[in-house]
A = this chain, B = another copy of it.
Amino acid sequence: MATEKPGSLWERLERPAPAPRQTLSPERIASAAVALADAEGLEAVTMRRLAAELGVAPMAPYRYLSGKDDLLDLMVDHVYAEPWLPDGLGWREALRDLAFRTRELTLAHPWLGRLPSRAKLALTPNRMAVAEQALAVLDGHGMDADTMMSVFRAVDAYVEGAMGYETAVTALIDDEGLSGGDGLRSELAPTMVWLMGTGRYPAFEKYLRTATRKDDAEWRFAHGLDCLLEGIAARLGI
């Protein structure tokens, strides 16, 4: 713990800052870490590099964080502090909107999908607010609590899985300095040619030959999402 005072990270943060004079603060730390992760990837976010970015000694942030885990929680909460659902949408439009906003957020901060499991489960206030809005919009349609949660989680799972793949592709593309999907495919070509040469993947080979939307990630995202929402509506009788 950063202090001996009890309470969770979030509880400590809502207490008035214990001293008015300080060059460091949880907000400054969080935004520096987020900026660093956005610019150079999550693996560039080391405690030492972060301290350097803040113009401070490597151990200084430990006054505010109990360790790197706390830093990641703080980063997650920081980027979730944005407007989410507009009011007055039906459950289906609301979930769709939420999914697309989460997609935008993940495209802006691709490291969100690569967090260790501890940070994935972090109960941060702003993240909780998203779940709250989703549950609220699902209420009043005759579902029990478990079904509502399952629906929310299903959409969230789809979004996270889809974005995991999408961000992995774009990360690989610009880690390697490639030029879009074609660059990636020509990078992967030797392996792919060899794999196809085994003759074990005829259906995949046909896909490679005939597909025309290989790089249309947004279309794929929307298509899968709409299937899921359609199925939710059908199975739950709206």
A residues at B contact (CB < 8 Å): 7-8, 10-11, 114, 116-118, 120-121, 123, 125, 128-129, 131-132, 135-136, 139, 144-151, 153-154, 156-162, 164-165, 167-169, 171-172, 188, 190-192, 194-195, 198, 200-204, 206-207, 210-214, 216, 219-220, 223-224, 226-235
Contact = CB atoms under 8 A, between A and B. Distances in A.
Contact of A136 (B145, B156, B162, B203): B203
Say what secondary structure dominates the interface of chain A. Answer: helix
A168 B117 contact: yes
A159 B169 CA distance: 18
Contacts of A157: 157-158, 160-162, 164-165, 224
Given A8-B194, A145-B206, A121 B172 contact: yes
A145 B211 CA distance: 5
B194 A10 contact: yes
Contact of A231 (B204, B213, B229): B229
Contacts of A224: 150-151, 153-154, 157-158, 228
Given A145-B206, A201-B129, A235-B230, A191 B8 contact: yes
A141 to B, nearest CB: 13
A207 B167 contact: no
